[in-house]
Amino acid sequence: MNLASPIEPPERIATIDILRGIALFIVLAINTATEFRVSIFEQFLPGKTSARIVAEISEALVVALHTKGFILFSFLFGVGLAIQFGRLADNPRRLTLMLRRLAVLLAFGVTHLFLIWNGDILTEYAIVGFAVLPFLYGPRWLLAVIAAPSLGVYIAMPLLPPVVSLPSNRWIIQHVAEAQQVYGSGGFLDILAFRVDEVRSIAPLHVYALPRTFGLFLLGALA
């Protein structure tokens, strides 16, 4: 499967890097307004977060930019994955090298997730990258055939029975209060233990996003 030529034109690489930079800037800007909190769940507090967001930027613009930023970044990740795959077409160790790159990304993501900020996205990207990799060996049409139902499932999720349960408002209020106490007066080990325990509650958010990420990776590889 000739997903990409071994040598990419400099113009194409520059364009991809520019688009990736735009996507990262959008994600950074929106995360600053919505997700960089003592607890990542603070953004879900009813009737409180919206007021703060509106003070900085309209809620409609936040939703639009947030969605476009993540869609573009996920799409470009698939593009980059396919370019790497194509460049290694003549290398007998292609699979080993691709798996190693994703494993390194996973290691960075897990470290970031547990030690720095549990709003990490690299872990999800690495896991989905492992799932997408086998499809790069198949025919080009297979990427589109698999991407379509994956994105369809994501769009239809609000109408489908819940796959996992999201935290209740009562739990979020209590959790945010605990986070403020731990981060405000706890030691390093207290904060680390709280962050590790919080990952269990964050996992359902990633489960809901997986079909979108998987589908966009496939579309990026197809492009």
On whether residue 3 sits in a domain, the answer given is no
Query: What are 84-95's pLDDT values in tens digits?
Result: 999 999 999 999
On whether residue 76 sits in a domain, the answer given is yes
DSSP for the chain, please give it: --SS-SS--HHHHHHHHHHHHHHHHHHHHHHHHHT-SSSGGGGGSTTTHHHHHHHHS-HHHHHHHHHHHHHHHHHHHHHHHHHHHHHTTT-TTHHHHHHHHHHHHHHHHHHIIIII-TT--HHHHHHHHHHHGGGGGS-HHHHHHHHHHHHHHHHHGGGSPPSSPPPPHHHHHHHHHHHHHHHHH--HHHHHHHHHHHHHHHHHHHHHHHHHHHHHHHHHHH-
On whether residue 104 sits in a domain, the answer given is yes
On whether residue 1 sits in a domain, the answer given is no
Q: CB–CB of 143/222 below 8 Å?
A: yes
Tokens of 38: 């003592």
User: How many structural domains is the chain composed of?
Assistant: 1
On whether residue 193 sits in a domain, the answer given is yes
Q: In terms of residue numbers, what domain contains 72?
A: 10-51+58-222
Mean pLDDT by 10 residues, the chain (223 residues): 52 74 76 68 65 50 63 90 93 95 96 85 94 94 94 88 82 89 88 87 87 95 93
Q: What is the pLDDT of residue 34?
A: 61
On whether residue 200 sits in a domain, the answer given is yes
On whether residue 16 sits in a domain, the answer given is yes
On whether residue 2 sits in a domain, the answer given is no
